[in-house]
Structure 1
């Protein structure tokens, strides 16, 4: 479980990127952070993975406690947390398999990582690629794969880490709608099968409604909505996106948000 208690972030330039947010996220829940650019979604994710220390409030993880309490607590939390990025962050000249194997590095002492990883790790990496439908591309350079395939390699890399939590920052923003749906489908299917908590920031309202168990809607750094997808009404979407709903209601507003 993740527990956020009055988490707020004010940057050194005085900008308050995140107003106090409190939320409990049980293990295995699939959560979407929804909102326009600049709403605070990325800042909140960076608090959850320990890249940004909140100006106030606490982030607690099950089995770790407050993640900023010590360097050891933060390292343990990061070992348990897989990250998926919008721009993949893959090494283009390496194969899909070798990219996925980088997700195993944190499981070993620093000196051990200069040697070939054990067979167990290679099997985990191959299994992760198979779960996203890319086992047949394991030995292909990732710079020869499509954008959607590269993002699925990114998912496999995160899953090879054997995480308890997966955080994804707009992982389908650069993909066409059909590919975006497949990538999110793979991610949420695996998380649901393995009981992994997933927290994913999106712009696409329709995808949030389809895949999320719970939606956190952010606007101007504050939490404007916290609930099930069917509670995301036109009026709440108007509040989140700070403008009148176009003709056609929520679905057109969803398209505008994309």
Structure 2
């Protein structure tokens, strides 16, 4: 269980990127943070892993404050980024193995990877359908393939939680749906808690167990996809609500 209690983020320039909020993320749920670009989704998501420091409030994981147990928390929290964050000149296998760094001391990382960890990495690569590409350079892959490498790198951590920051924003619609469907299926199979930021309403409705809508740094909706109607969508995106029949036609 991840608990957000009065979390607020004010950046040094005075921008309030996240207004005070209280949230609970239940184990095994696939939660989507939905909102327009700049709404505060990434700020909230990155604060869940300590990448953004809170100005007020606290975040706990299994009852432990993540600021005082950050190494423990990050070791069990996989992170997937929008721009993949791969080392292009390294192989797929080498990039995936980077996900194991948090499980070792700085001195241990200077030694070769163990056979068990290489097998673990190859299993993760196989799960995302890229085993034939394991020894290929990452910069030789397509955008969708690179994002699947990012998923494998998160899986090799053997996490209990996956955080994904706009993981399909840079992909074409068809590839975005395939990548998100694969991530959703893996989280279901492994019972992982997933918190994913998106701006695509259709993908959020299709894959989420719960949608948290954010606008102007504030949580303006929190509920199941079927409760997200025209008025709720308008609050999230700052648009004029459409009649229900117009939404159905769309």
TM-score, scaled relative to structure 1? 0.93
Find the aligned partners of 1:250 and 1:163 in 2 and give their Cα distance: 38
Aligned to 1:10: 10
Aligned to 2:104: 108
Residue 28 (structure 1) aligned with residue 28 (structure 2): yes
Shift of 1:249: 2.4
Aligned to 1:249: 247
Q: For 1:217, which of 207, 213, 218 is the aligned residue?
A: 213
Aligned to 1:255: none
Find the aligned partners of 1:144 and 1:157 in 2 and give their Cα distance: 17
Asked if the contact 1:2/1:61 (under 8 Å) is kept, the reply is yes
Asked if the contact 2:10/2:17 (under 8 Å) is kept, the reply is yes
Asked if the contact 1:237/1:250 (under 8 Å) is kept, the reply is no
Aligned residue runs from structure 1 range 218-233, under 5 A? 218-233=214-229
Asked if the contact 2:30/2:184 (under 8 Å) is kept, the reply is yes
Shift of 1:243: 1.4
Q: Could you list the per-position Cα deviations for residues 153-195 of structure 1 after superposition, in whole angstroms to 9, with x for gaps in the alignment?
A: 0000000011111111101001111110111111111111111
Asked if the contact 1:97/1:138 (under 8 Å) is kept, the reply is yes
Shift of 1:91: 0.6
Aligned to 1:239: 235
Shift of 1:11: 1.5
Aligned to 2:116: 120
Aligned residue runs from structure 1 range 25-174, under 5 A? 25-62=25-62, 65-68=64-67, 70=68, 73-174=69-170
Shift of 1:246: 6.1
CA RMSD of aligned residues (A): 1.4
Asked if the contact 2:71/2:102 (under 8 Å) is kept, the reply is no
Asked if the contact 2:17/2:217 (under 8 Å) is kept, the reply is yes
Aligned length: 248
Asked if the contact 1:233/1:250 (under 8 Å) is kept, the reply is no
TM-score, scaled relative to structure 2? 0.96
Q: Runs (4+) of structure 1 moved beyond 4 Å?
A: none
Q: Could you list the per-position Cα deviations for residues 186-227 of structure 1 after superposition, in whole angstroms to 9, with x for gaps in the alignment?
A: 111111111111111001000001111100000011100001
Find the aligned partners of 2:60 and 2:150 in 1 and give their Cα distance: 26
Q: Could you list the per-position Cα deviations for residues 141-164 of structure 1 after superposition, in whole angstroms to 9, with x for gaps in the alignment?
A: 111111000000000000001111
Structure 1: stretches of 5+ with no match in the other structure: 253-258
Find the aligned partners of 1:119 and 1:18 in 2 and give their Cα distance: 43
Q: For 1:192, which of 183, 188, 195 is the aligned residue?
A: 188
Find the aligned partners of 2:249 and 2:18 in 1 and give their Cα distance: 27
Find the aligned partners of 1:251 and 1:184 in 2 and give their Cα distance: 25
Find the aligned partners of 2:6 and 2:108 in 1 and give their Cα distance: 40
Structure 2: stretches of 5+ with no match in the other structure: none
Aligned to 1:256: none
Find the aligned partners of 2:248 and 2:140 in 1 and give their Cα distance: 38
Change (3 A) 1:250 1:198: farther
Asked if the contact 2:80/2:164 (under 8 Å) is kept, the reply is yes
